[in-house]
Each structure stands twice: as C-alpha cells, then as structure tokens.
Structure 1
Amino acid sequence: MTLTAALRLTRPNFRLDLDLEVAPGEVVALLGPNGAGKTTALRLLAGLTRLTEGHITLDDQPLHDLPVEKRPIGMVFQDYLLFPHLSALDNVAFGLRCQGTGKAESRRRAFEWLARVGLEDHANVRPRQLSGGQAQRVALARALVIDPRLLLLDEPLAALDAHTRLEIRSHLRRHLADFDGATVLVTHDPLDAMVLADRLIVIERGQVVQEGVPADVARRPRTDYVARLVGLNLYRGTAAGHHIKVDDILFTVTEHLEGPAFLVFAPSAVALYRTRPDGSPRNLWQATIDGVERHGDNMRIHLDGPISAAADITPAAVAELDLTPGQTVWASIKATETHAYPA
C-alpha cells in the first residue's frame, strides 16, 4: 500500500475512528453527511490537524510527526485558495519554490503543468480573471506539479455550475488516471464519487458504515444515508426463504435468505393505485400521500403508512390519478423489482 493510516481524533461530542488503505494509483472517495468527519480526515492526512492517536504511513515512511511542509502531499481545497496577487503560473510554481527549486526551473515546470491542464494561454492571468473551472485546473496543477505521493481533494467540484462540473469532472478523471500515487477524495456528490473513485468509504458519525467499489455500494446500501444517496428505498427486516417481513408487510423477493436482511427497491419500481388493484398482487400496501414534488422529469410521491417510501411516476400519471397530499393510495411492487441481501 502507498498509504496506510489509522486516524483517531477525539473531541467533545465527536470521535473519528478511521482505518484507511490506498494503493498506488487508486482513488478512494470518502462520503458521508455533514459532520461525519470526512474533511477532518483529510486535514489529519495533510497535517493541518493533529492526531489524538494513530499513525499515517506513506511509502513505508511515517508522516504523522512531520510538519505540513515536509509531507509529500498535494491538496486541492474546496475554494481552491489561489493567491490573488500571483498569476496562474506563479500560483502553480509556488509549491516548487517552497521546496527550494529555483525560480526559472519552477516556472518552467509550472508552465508544463498549465499546458497539461489546457491553460498555457492563461499563464499570466490572475485568479480573479479565471472562471471557476479554470481556477480548479490551476489548483490541480499546483497540487500535482510537486510530484506528490498523496493527493487530497476536498470537494474539488463543489464550487462549479452543473455544465462546468461535467467538463471538469471528465478532465479530472483523466489526470487521476495518470497519477501513480494515492488519491483521497472527499465529496457529497454521489456522481462525482461514482465517476472518479475506484473505491468508496462511507462515514457516519466518525465511523465507517460501508465500504466497497462504487457499483456494490450503489446496489447494496447499508444505511439510510447511503440509500438516499443512490436513490433507493431501504428497509431492514427478517427473511424466511423468498419472503421478508418489514414491520407488518410481507414482501416477496427473488433471492432466498434466512435471518436479518435488507430490502431495497427503486422509487421508479413503485406503482400507485387509487383503489385496491384486482387480483392478488404481491408486495401491496395502503399508504397516505405525504408530499408531491418534481424530481427530474418525473414527480416524486412521498408515502407514509406501514412503511415510508418514495415513488417516482410521470406528471401525466399524477394528473390522471389526481394525487394530492393527504390522499390514500395503494402501492405495489413486483417481486422482480425488489432486492434483498443479508443485514
């Protein structure tokens, strides 16, 4: 492993307890709600906050006792923190100058990196004249020009508008693919995490609650936060064969399980009816509409009842069924649209 760390920090009403391993060339994303400890973990790795206990080892060398300037780390902050009085070129060259590299050599290497991020024509431009996407690329070049062994990215795309974010995410992915050190990314955006990261670590209240490759985490969430993040309804119940009991509802599923289990289904899999549907459909329950809101091209119906659930249906279906808050409806899901796995 390029990076192995046992990050322990104790504060009043909060404790971070995170073990982290990142291989050469691997991108690990830390996900979690506000206050979970993601940025704190990044600051501990960078040396901006001191460990209460634990260790940080990079390329078999201990880092936790080294001052910030001695750590072979590049960092891109959420607001980039470019020096307003320096040109883009001198911003990129700043880290090299701090390492003792001569001015001419620093500027030469900085210009090479500006060219790599497509900003060689902006070498003499100051930060206030750069767009958000350009500033992000300057910050990335500044972090990588020093040849770090560890790259830390703190919400690197959060300050960008949706269109720019799409473009810069693609650029960032290419640069991360070429980086042979370890990368730790903090983000609130599940799409950023899915596109940029090789592995996800989900933190809640300072503890790891789920870890795995993006596809596995998205397919099998283990907490309500992760389920909301990937857009699934999640429940914990008890399985017996092809049935899972969640509260007072008995769901039929395709998987065969025994004991504690999670049940998930997509909001788009939920069918709504004003009256009980004919026949004996499985996975059927009665609910009250708690709210209706626009969700992309569809409408999201929030259901309250034996279980709370989200259902996505078309605006035409909302009008046809005349759905409004407070109404009682029947909700149904096909067994093939539900998925279960051990809790």
Structure 2
Amino acid sequence: MTLHADLSVQIGSFALNAGFDVEPGTTLALLGPNGAGKSTALRALAGLRPMSGGAITLNGRMLDEPGQDLFVPPERRSVGVVFQDYLLFGHLSAVDNVAFGLRARGQRKRDAQVEAAAWLDRVGLAPQARHKPRQLSGGQAQRVALARALAIRPDLLLLDEPLAALDAATRIQIRAQLRKHLDDYEGATVLVTHDPLDAMVLADRLLVVENGSVVQEGTPVEIARRPRTDYIAALVGLNLYRGVADGATVKLDEGGVITTAHATTGAVFVAFPPTAVSLHRTRSEGSPRNTWLAEVTGIEQHADTMRVRLTGTPDLLADVTTAAVAELLLSPGQQVWVSVKATETHTYPS
C-alpha cells in the first residue's frame, strides 16, 4: 500500500512540482501557506485534478501517468477522501452516508448498513446513526466523513484540512481522536493543513510546500528544530537568519553579526526562540551576549506572554512578560537594547 507520487500540475501560471513516498501505516502532512499547492496535490492524488506530467503509483498499481496517456478515474482508485467541508449528503442519515461508498461498490443495502453502523460505533457515533447532517455538531460531522472514507477500506486516505471547520475547543478533542484512528489505519495517509499543530500532532513526516515546490521534508522534530524558510520559522516560533560563519561569528545576510556557542564555517542558518531575547533600556553588560539597538514596531498578546516585534540589524521577535512591558514602558517607535546569549542560539548548515 505504498504511495509513490511524482506530481506535476500546471494551472495557468502556477506550477506544482512535488515528489514523495508514503509507507503503509504512516501519515504525511503537506504543510504550507494558502496558495502553496497543497490542495492541488491532494486533488491530483484523488484523480480530481489532471496532471501535466509525473506519475502516481499506489501499491504497485499505476494510477496516473500523463506521459503514457494513463489515467485511472477517481471511482476506480482505492482512495478515501475527507474534504474540508466534509460534503455529507444532507438528505441521508449518518449511517446511510457511511454506507454510500459501500453501496456504490456493489454491496447489498442491508450488509452495507450493518458495516456502516459498525464504523459509526468505532468512531463513537452509534447513537447518532439515524441523525441527518444538520442534526450533527461539527465534530460529529467530521467523524461521519472519516468513517465514510475508511469504510471502503482504501489503500490511501486523503484528508483536506480535516479540522479547519471546527471551533478551537472541539478541535483539541477531535485532533486526539483522529490521531488514534490514523494509528489504527493500515494504509497510507496524506494530510493537507496550514495549521502547524495539526501537522505536528497527526503526521509522522512533514512535507513543506511553498509556491508549488517542496522546500523542506522531515519528521516534525526535525522541521521544528531546523527550519529552512521564514515561513516555517514563523510557524514554529523561531527567529531565523541566514549568514556565513567564521568560527563562532556569523555575518548575517540581512546585516549584523551574531556570536554563537559553537564554531563552524560556511553558509549556515542561525535560530533562537523569542523567549531567548531580553530587552533593556540601556546596553546590557555582564556575560557575553549578542547586543544591538532595535525599535519596537508592535506589541501583541501571545499565549501567556507579550510578543514584541522589533526592527534592527537584524529584525527579531521577543517574548516578554506583561510586567516587563510595563516596566520598560514599551510602545511602538521606542528604541530598546536587545540581547541574546550565545548559548541560546542554534546553528546548522544552510
């Protein structure tokens, strides 16, 4: 049930080019900003978007190869899809929605309903089996859509922003339940999301897509620890810079110099969290620090701290307490000294 995808899709001036493999029992998340090409990739895998090149193979079976004029239509692919808006049939009950795919594959009505009821029980919705979609909460509708996709026992499961339609409180609960169902699923799963938490919790590997191209691939831990683009750094909450290292000194591409804890040479990334940044009214003295003057451009609530945006050489984000904001009288336009200990920085090859 291994998926091998070499996707090439041209839509007007936009081009998607992405290649990846997904092993049985694992989940790959396509993570990226809006317009990056994530949903285009998902629709190509489902057979809902024609490819201009490349190939898709599932469990040794070729599904799509434009160069050989080969295309397997969606209904003949062993693929289950959960769309962002779930797309449940409004006139059918939950159990009939789940049974729909089974009936479409030729199963007798009674047998399909018995199997569908078992799937609803598996996702905790046996009491809602006769409810219509309008009688279901968002989380319940999501689970019906998941049961419908899994009931046909697909070799490949595709999830398009499966938690996007849920409120924050419901998302926490459904995310945990979805992870359990994915752990039990034996096929390959491809998840599309722009939410880093969904990707980190649900996926075994991440494929980061920007402007139609793959910019980074790895485990959630690898991606979070070593981001390679500003988009990823912002998602995982790190200050990220490119530069050239000469020993423990890195000359940054955007200007400025940062001293690191470990010596290296050549092109590198330097990263550190906003919590590693200290703000001061006057230049900080004492232990070796990276210190420079910066101007406050914005202050906003961030979790249980205040996130301060600063322009300088280089620009950066700092997370400080509410008390620190009051003590320093921070406001947009104010100049402050920023400092970062060398031991708080993380350097890796670019």
Query: Which runs of structure 2 are paired with 1:111-122 in the superposition (5 Å)?
Result: 111-122=117-128
Number of the residue aligned with 1:57 = 57
Number of the residue aligned with 2:195 = 189
2:284–2:291 contact (8 Å) kept in structure 1: no
Normalising by the residue count of structure 2, what TM-score does the alignment of the two structures yield?
0.96
2:5–2:19 contact (8 Å) kept in structure 1: yes
The structural deviation recorded for 1:289 is 0.5
User: 1:214 pairs with 208, 211, 220, which one?
Assistant: 220
Offset from partner CA, 1:47-96 (integer Å, 9 cap, x none):
01111111110000011211110010000000100000000000000001
Counting aligned pairs with the same residue, the percent is 61
User: 1:274 pairs with 281, 300, 309, which one?
Assistant: 281
The structural deviation recorded for 1:279 is 4.1
- Residue 323 of structure 2 aligns with an amino acid whose one-letter code is A
Q: Partners of 2:53 and 2:81 in 1: how far apart?
A: 23
Query: Which runs of structure 2 are paired with 1:149-168 in the superposition (5 Å)?
Result: 149-168=155-174
Deviates more, 1:256-265 or 1:246-255: 246-255
Q: Partners of 2:302 and 2:287 in 1: how far apart?
A: 31
Q: How many residues align?
A: 343
The structural deviation recorded for 1:333 is 0.4
- Gapped regions of structure 2 (runs ≥ 5): 65-70
- Residue 289 of structure 1 aligns with an amino acid whose one-letter code is V
The structural deviation recorded for 1:121 is 0.6
2:226–2:348 contact (8 Å) kept in structure 1: yes
- Gapped regions of structure 1 (runs ≥ 5): none
1:117–1:141 contact (8 Å) kept in structure 2: yes
- Residue 15 of structure 1 aligns with an amino acid whose one-letter code is A
- Residue 235 of structure 1 aligns with an amino acid whose one-letter code is Y
User: Structure 1 residue runs of 4+, over 4 Å off?
Assistant: none
The structural deviation recorded for 1:135 is 0.3
Q: Partners of 1:52 and 1:255 in 2: how far apart?
A: 47
What is the RMSD of the two structures over their aligned residues, measured on CA atoms? 1.0
Query: Which runs of structure 2 are paired with 1:227-266 in the superposition (5 Å)?
Result: 227-246=233-252, 247-266=254-273
2:84–2:162 contact (8 Å) kept in structure 1: yes
Number of the residue aligned with 2:41 = 41
1:200–1:211 contact (8 Å) kept in structure 2: yes
Query: Which runs of structure 2 are paired with 1:46-195 in the superposition (5 Å)?
Result: 46-64=46-64, 65-195=71-201
User: 1:199 pairs with 198, 205, 230, which one?
Assistant: 205
Q: Partners of 2:19 and 2:262 in 1: how far apart?
A: 33
- Residue 285 of structure 2 aligns with an amino acid whose one-letter code is D
Deviates more, 1:274-283 or 1:289-298: 274-283
1:251–1:282 contact (8 Å) kept in structure 2: no
Number of the residue aligned with 1:302 = 309
Deviates more, 1:274-283 or 1:55-64: 274-283
- Residue 16 of structure 2 aligns with an amino acid whose one-letter code is L
The structural deviation recorded for 1:278 is 2.8
- Residue 89 of structure 1 aligns with an amino acid whose one-letter code is V
> SS at the partner of 1:34?
coil
Q: Partners of 2:238 and 2:149 in 1: how far apart?
A: 36
> SS at the partner of 1:275?
coil
User: 1:318 pairs with 322, 325, 329, which one?
Assistant: 325
The structural deviation recorded for 1:221 is 0.3
The structural deviation recorded for 1:12 is 2.0
- Residue 194 of structure 2 aligns with an amino acid whose one-letter code is H
Number of the residue aligned with 2:26 = 26
- Residue 284 of structure 2 aligns with an amino acid whose one-letter code is P
The structural deviation recorded for 1:270 is 0.3
Query: Which runs of structure 2 are paired with 1:282-301 in the superposition (5 Å)?
Result: 282-301=289-308
1:257–1:342 contact (8 Å) kept in structure 2: no
1:3–1:182 contact (8 Å) kept in structure 2: yes
Is the aligned partner of 1:327 residue 2:338?
no
